[in-house]
Chain A
Amino acid sequence: MTFGTPEMLAVLPELVVMGMALGLLVLDLYLRPDQRGITFALAVATLAVAAVLAAVLVPGEARTLLNGQFLHDRLGAVLKVFLLGGTALALIYGRRPLQRLAMYRGELFILMLLASAGMMLMASAGTLLMAYLGLELMSLSLYTMIAMDRDSIPATEGAVKYFLLGSLASGILLYGLSLVFGASGSLALDEIAAHAARAGVSDPLLVLGGVFVAIGLAFKLGAVPFHMWIPDVYHGSPSPVTVVLASTSKLAAFALLMRLLVGGLGPMAEQWQVIAGALAVLSLVVGNVVAIAQTAIKRMLAYSAIAHVGFLLIGLASAPTSGYMAPVLYMLLYTLMGAAAFGIVSMLDRDEAPARTIDDFAGLSRTHPWTAFLMLILMFALAGVPPTGGFMAKLYVFQAAVEADLVWLAVFGVLMAVIGAFYYLRVVKAMYFDPPERTLGPVGDRVAQGAVSVNALAVLGLGILPGPLVELSLFAVAGI
């Protein structure tokens, strides 16, 4: 194996995150409880530095390094920037809420860094082994972070549910991976792709493995009918962890999907396209319809996340024909929207008046006009109202579906988006037209307020000027 400067540079973002996780683990022992801010700041700085490194070290063309374990390409670099940035934002939003939950501890920041490392490894996995190890590194850290809110029964319930169903999903995925390995005789994704191109559907073992892999990924993404864990876990988790669950861990699952289904089983796209289409229809119906009945804000947003996976899957079902730009764009924008929406919810959540239900947002426009305005942008974006980024994301997905001759899927998606608009607008109605019942204040600090403002305004700005993000998505998928 060659292990020189090019290899070191390629894995540098990962090495920075992992190394700092280990360093902070030791450093944190020597800090007094009132110096926790140092660990916090260093964790955020690490994520930011790693994101910059990932952006700077973007390769000209895809290369596999470290004996094929590590795939260094543009898609991985773009996804890593968003993964790291999103996690950093989640930490910034979560500072005050974490302090209130008595979760403002060194272990949480270390687990956050390790989870990010897992996400990054998923985004640049070159073999089945790396994909699975990255997934487990992320999942185990997330389970623990949820369970760290020990005095809360919903959090414990959420953690146990997430752990059990997550393990089941990992097991199914691993079983599928082992079948794929058995069929193709290789762990390397490019060799699996070569075998899939040769054998295709004539290899029953590969088909069976592919189906299991698809089910495992659907579990991780939260597509119907593998979505049961999402509402309970999102609702029960401490809000700052929910931000990560809803934004970056989704993006990481998408990265895994791009690696396994597109990179590994790409030649069998014709087969998994059908699965993606079916899952899209189910997710759209269940997500949008059940969300209407929700009164708890996090639960509603959880069902909305399921619906968004449906839109993503529309893009994916049409991607083999019309290109992967649309799903990548959709997922990047959803990461931004999800982080900001859950971020605002987590910041509004406080002891005296926890923002648990949609009614809690009543009159927010009078008490906190700016936060209400940001939430308005995000609700419009999630619903897909122009001129927000959410509209652009949906537009490109539907355009891709039409290009791929899946007009019925596009029409169905539009109908479901209309249904979905109802429950997003309910939040807007509560904020702007209902009289305030309780005073509900953002508890985030100034940095968090500023960060969430930038995040939400970016969602708006990318709707007005979608060019940069479209370019970025095209740049990411250029090699596929």
Chain B
Amino acid sequence: MAVTQAIFYLFATVLVVAALMVITARNPVHSVLFLVLSFVNGAGLFLLAGAEFLAFTLILVYVGAVMVLFLFVLMMLDINLQRMREGFLNYLPLGAVIAFVLVVEMGAMLAAGGSGAVVGGDGALGGTEAGNTTLLGRVLYDTYLLPFEVAALVLLVALVAAIALTLRHRPDVKKQDPGQQVRVRREDRVRLVDMPTEGAPYAPDTGATGSKGGEG
């Protein structure tokens, strides 16, 4: 038990520190990376509590997908941090009130929660029968098989809709297609024109002069 508790405190401490860094880091990219760290530690806590499905979901969905999306958005947006930090003192009283309410509520919950083990309790394990991923799977793929599959179709509709509504090839847009630019051949861009030379004196009989178009 002592080892488990030590691991718990390790994860919990890193989690809290990382969470603090998320809101204090100057560079938003660092904030996101700290958020990833705190998620991974949170997942560790879930594992300790016996909720392995939640732990994996947190890593797969939040760390794997949502955070990558955050990073993309951050890189694409030009965020002026100075402007964002300006109103800090104005929002402080409201933020403090909300934080106070949250702390009181959490305290009340812990006080009412009784003496159950915080770590390693088997409430989330569904007894000793099987891991909760198995249990969840049994419900999803048995009792709720049809709704589960239909929910997947609803997501598919969202996917098809997003692509059908945004992707279209407009002929009047002058955007570059790198593939086409690379694949260009000399004949597409260069035209050799036969020009009769003007006047006789300087014309040794050599034929055409090349006239080159732009190369790209």
Contact = CB atoms under 8 A, between A and B. Distances in A.
Contacts of B9: none
B150 interface: yes
B146 A140 contact: no
Interface string A353-382: 000000000000000000000000000000
Given A69-B147, A70-B146, A133 B161 contact: no
A136 B154 CA distance: 7
B153 A18 contact: yes
Contact of B146 (A21, A130, A147): A130
A183 B157 CA distance: 32
A140 B145 contact: no
A128 B201 CA distance: 97
Interface in A91-136: 105, 107-108, 110-111, 114, 117, 121, 127, 129-130, 133-134, 136
Contact of B161 (A66, A140, A150): A140
B147 A114 contact: no
Contacts of A167: none
B156 interface: yes
Contacts of B147: 69, 127, 129-130, 133
Q: Is the interface of A mostly helix, strand, loop or mixed?
A: helix
Contacts of A21: 153
B156 to A, nearest CB: 7
B20 interface: no
Interface in B115-164: 142-147, 150-151, 153-154, 156-158, 160-161, 163-164
Contact of A147 (B145, B153, B157, B165): B165
B164 A144 contact: yes
A133 B150 contact: yes
A111 B162 CA distance: 12
A114 B156 contact: yes
Interface string A1-19: 1010000000100000010
A137 interface: yes
A110 B160 contact: yes
B157 A141 contact: yes
A133 B143 contact: no
A148 interface: yes
A28 to B, nearest CB: 11
A137 B154 contact: yes
Interface in A1-44: 1, 3, 11, 18, 21-22, 25
A295 interface: no
Nearest to A148: B164
Contact of A105 (B143, B156, B164): B164
Contacts of A136: 154
A114 B145 contact: no
B168 interface: yes
Q: How big is chain A's contact interface, by range?
A: 20 to 34
A4 to B, nearest CB: 14
A140 B154 contact: yes
Contacts of A134: 150
Interface string B42-55: 00000000000000
Nearest to A129: B147
Contacts, number: 70
A70 B157 CA distance: 21
Contacts of A130: 146-147, 150
A133 B142 contact: no
Interface in A182-215: none
B143 to A, nearest CB: 5
Contacts of B145: 1, 3, 66-67, 69
A107 B163 CA distance: 9
Contacts of A66: 145-146
A280 B17 CA distance: 62
Contacts of B165: 144, 147-148, 150
B150 A150 contact: no
A259 B151 CA distance: 20
Interface string B167-182: 0100000000000000
Contact of B168 (A110, A140, A147, A150): A150
Contact of B164 (A18, A22, A69, A107): A107
Contacts of B168: 150
Contacts of A150: 165, 168
A69 B142 contact: no
B134 to A, nearest CB: 16
Interface in A53-79: 66-67, 69-70
Contacts of A148: 164-165
A140 B157 contact: yes
A144 B157 contact: yes
A144 B160 contact: yes
A67 B148 CA distance: 13
B143 A1 contact: yes
Given A69-B144, A129-B144, A144 B151 contact: no
A129 B144 CA distance: 9
A107 B143 contact: no
A113 to B, nearest CB: 10
A133 B168 CA distance: 29
A144 B161 contact: yes
Contact of A137 (B142, B143, B144, B153): B153
Contact of A121 (B150, B161, B164): B150
B208 to A, nearest CB: 41
15 contacts: A1-B143, A1-B145, A11-B146, A67-B142, A70-B146, A114-B160, A127-B147, A130-B147, A134-B150, A137-B150, A140-B154, A140-B158, A144-B161, A150-B165, A150-B168
Interface of A: 1, 3, 11, 18, 21-22, 25, 66-67, 69-70, 105, 107-108, 110-111, 114, 117, 121, 127, 129-130, 133-134, 136-137, 140-141, 143-144, 147-148, 150
Given A137-B157, A150-B168, 6 more contacts: A21-B153, A67-B144, A111-B160, A114-B156, A114-B157, A133-B150
Which 8 A-B residue pairs are closest in the complex by CB-CB distance?
A144-B161, A107-B164, A69-B146, A133-B150, A140-B157, A1-B142, A67-B143, A129-B147
